[in-house]
Amino acid sequence: MRVTFYGTRGSIPVPDPDFVEFGGNTSCILVTFSTGRVAILDAGTGIRKLGNDLLAASHEQYSEMIIGFSHTHWDHIQGFPFFKLANDPRRNITLAICGKGRGSKDLKSVFATQMQFDYFPVPLDKIGAQLTFWQPDLTEFVHPMGIEIVASKHNHPGGAYGYRITEGDKTLVYCTDVEHGDGLDKNVVALSRNADLLIHDAQYTPDELKERKGWGHSSWEQAAEVAERAGAKKLALFHHDPEHSDNFLFEVELKVQKTFPMAFYAREGMTIEL
């Protein structure tokens, strides 16, 4: 399994020159499995370049793919209309959000609203690709490719889900936009148990977190504690605050590594082999 970061920023894209090293695009990750099949996690602005790269790699491959969403806040869906494979009628794309306890609208209505004429010139039903919207009320299932997936709901305004994805003996955990509260969410720790790579929300510093309770995010300190308690092998700190520049993140990364040596801030374009 291979993980490539195409968008690492939270809340809003930041194209400023001081945000180049860690990236200015919002949440988007490409997961490539041993079979060569791919899955995408979230469709922030990073999915634009992801689509370009997939097209450059092969015009025939990737005829079927899945985009899994942690939730549907703006920074996790805003890149979808610019995903070139979605404009190709040869593609079959499944947009999915998995897990119990959903309280939001169905996925199709979310994307149809985003692409109304008031907001975007091309409506959803004219986009080109064959789209399937999948919202199973499941917490565990095995994909036909043999990939085991566990979904777990966690605390975030409007709700969000973390995913544990296992292929063979390798496990990726994707857990962004999570607020732990006064103590760590035990379900997040359980989801992350022995992960080869844990991608965890770390939008705030511990001091910032004190002032932003209820905003739905974690500190780097909490992310490191989850990784340590869960026995994760590597920790990618994710969903960088739009006010945190490269220099700021470089400095904080050194602090985190004193707590959890195998931690690092995710960088746009970075690839991790599990």
pLDDT tens per residue across span 58-108: 756 778 899 999 999 999 999 999 999 999 998 999 999 988 776 657 899
* Pair of tokens at residue 165: 């994805």
Query: Residue 64 corresponds to which tokens in the numbers above?
Result: 């079927």
- In this prediction, residue 227 has a pLDDT band, given cuts at 50, 70 and 90, of very high
Confidence of residue 136 (pLDDT cuts 50, 70, 90): confident
Contacts of 60 (CB under 8 A, 6+ apart): none
What CATH number does residue 128 fall under?
Answer: 3.60.15.10
Residue 182 near residue 165, CB atoms below 8 Å: no
For the residues 219-229, what does the mean pLDDT come to? 98
pLDDT at residue 62 in the model = 75
Given pLDDT bands bounded at 50, 70 and 90, which one contains residue 2? very high
Name the range with the highest mean pLDDT among 105-114, 153-162, 233-242: 233-242
Q: What is the pLDDT of residues 179-189, one digit of tens each?
A: 998 899 999 99
Separation of CA 224 from chain center: 18
What per-residue confidence (pLDDT) applies to 102?
Answer: 66
Name which residue leads in pLDDT, 70 or 36: 70
Q: Structure tokens of 206? A: 């511990």
Lowest mean pLDDT among 95-104, 107-116, 154-163: 95-104
pLDDT, residue 22, reads 98
Instruction: Give the separation between CA 54 and CA 265, rounded to whole angstroms.
Output: 25
At a CB cut-off of 8 Å and minimum separation 6, what does 59 contact?
none
Q: Where are the alpha helices (DSSP H) in 1-117?
A: 47-57, 74-77, 107-114
Q: What is the mean pLDDT of the chain?
A: 94
Instruction: Reply yes or no on whether the pLDDT at 17 is more than 80.
Output: yes
The length of the chain in residues reads: 274
Q: Say what the pTM is.
A: 0.96
Question: pLDDT value at position 30?
Answer: 98
Backbone angles phi, psi at 112, to 5 degrees: -65, -40
The whole domain housing 146 covers 2-273
CA distance 189 to 202: 15
Mean pLDDT (whole number) for 31-39: 93
Say how many domains are in the chain. 1
Residue 79's identity, in one-letter code, is G
pLDDT given for residue 59 in this prediction: 59
Torsion of CA 18, 22, 24, 30, to 10 degrees: 170
165, 3 Cβ separation under 8 angstroms: no
Q: Residue 118's pLDDT is what?
A: 94
